[in-house]
Amino acid sequence: MPELPEVETVTRALTPVLKGALIQGVSLNRPNLRFPFPVDFKAHLEGTTVLDVRRRAKYICIDLSSDMTLLWHLGMSGRVIIDPLTGEKEPPSHHDHVHFTLQNPSGKTQQHIRYRDPRRFGFMDLVPTLGFQRSKFIQHLGLEPLTDDFNEAYLTQVLKTKSAPIKNVIMDAKIVVGVGNIYASESLFRAGTHPATPAKLIKNHDLLIQCIKDVLEAAILSGGSTLRDHVRPDGNLGYFQHHFFVYGKDGDLCEKCKKAPIKKMTQAGRSTFYCPRCQKAP
DNA sequence: ATAGGCACCTGGTGGC
DNA sequence: TGCCACCAGGTGCCTA
């Protein structure tokens, strides 16, 4: 269920486990996920050391001692399971597609990581670390929302020619990455902006910027606050759902105005949730 | 250039 | 209980 905050949370959980570790073994239970695994994927990874773990958009990027970077996307249903060193492991599932065995740099300790993805919309790819930006999955990506570059001046410039609904535009990864279907609805609710507003008619760019950053940061904090749970046998990640104002709340009374029920509509084939009273129609 | 629709998959849910 | 339609957090690619 990964949008940017979930991928950030997983990346942070993986970093201390992976960084400096030797990849001892890789086992694949099938030849492909959304795409085929790269040729010699297993052979390439085994024996390399992890130099760094980063996130770009919704990709986990694992830099290897072979000067290659493992690009790892969790799709819609991907989950990373970090098995605890001691205690009860999460039972295996036939949706566990990749299994990494790692050797800790400081000793002989082994650690296991599994990738579970029922829908198999996720994928892994290997790209040269130096040519990372030229990867077909990376090259077209827009700004990271939590950087200073994603600011009022940028959004004003980008939106002024766009007539598409603002919700679709903030979900467009060429413009800004990491804003998925949930956080698009939540950001627009916080900004008091109707999701169908043509992007060029948006007035308060600074408020929208701030709402996107706030909702993503709050979700990361929420994920982070339950990060320690991630390595528990139950493996549950803390999501942000307890803080949703509109997502999945159609029919409920709006928590802000307490007068109108939350409505649901479809935009570009995806569900949008909004309060018709707090988010004024264009 | 841009917007819309389809495709890739499985599993859960709600209606009949 | 069983079956079926529909929906789900992403995103590359094709078409108009």
Burial of A51 (0-12, 13-18, 19+ CB in 10 A): middle
Q: Which nucleotide's C1' sits nearest to the alpha carbon of A94?
A: B10
Per-residue pLDDT tens over the stretch A191-246: 999 999 999 999 999 999 999 999 999 988 887 554 433 333 334 455 566 688 99
**Measured from the CB, is A91 under 7 Å from any atom of strand B?**
no
Q: Are A37 and A31 in contact (CB under 8 A)?
A: yes
User: Does strand B come within 7 Å of the CB of A118?
Assistant: yes
Contact flag, residue A186 CB and nucleic strand C, below 7 A = no
Q: Give the model's pLDDT for residue A154.
A: 95
What confidence score (pLDDT) does residue A85 get? Answer: 79
Q: What is the pLDDT of residues A19-77, one digit of tens each?
A: 999 999 999 999 999 999 999 999 999 999 999 999 999 999 999 999 999 999 999 88
pLDDT at A233: 33
How many angstroms is C1' of B2 away from CA of A160? 14
Protein CA A261 to sugar C1' C16 (Å): 37
Nucleotide nearest to A174 (CA to C1'): C11
Query: Residue A90 CB closer than 7 angstroms to strand C?
Result: no
Q: How far is the CA of A35 from the C1' of C4 (A)?
A: 30
Q: Write down which residues 159-178 in A have CB closer than 7 A to strand B.
A: 161-164, 168
CB A282 within 8 Å of CB A198: yes
Catalytic positions of A are 2-3, 58, 270
CA atom of A248 to C1′ atom of C5, Å: 20
Protein footprint on strand B: which nucleotides are under 7 Å from a CB?
Answer: 2-6, 8-11
For residue A57, what are its two tokens?
A: 């958009």
Q: Residues A126, A41: contact at Cβ < 8 Å? A: yes
Tell me how many degrees the CA angle A172-A208-A161 measures, rounded to the nearest 5.
55
Single out the residue of A14, A43, A23, A9 nearest to residue A238, CA to CA: A9
| CA A41 – CA A47 distance, rounded (Å) | 12
Token output for A40 = 């010699």
DSSP strand pairing (A96-103 vs A68-73): unpaired
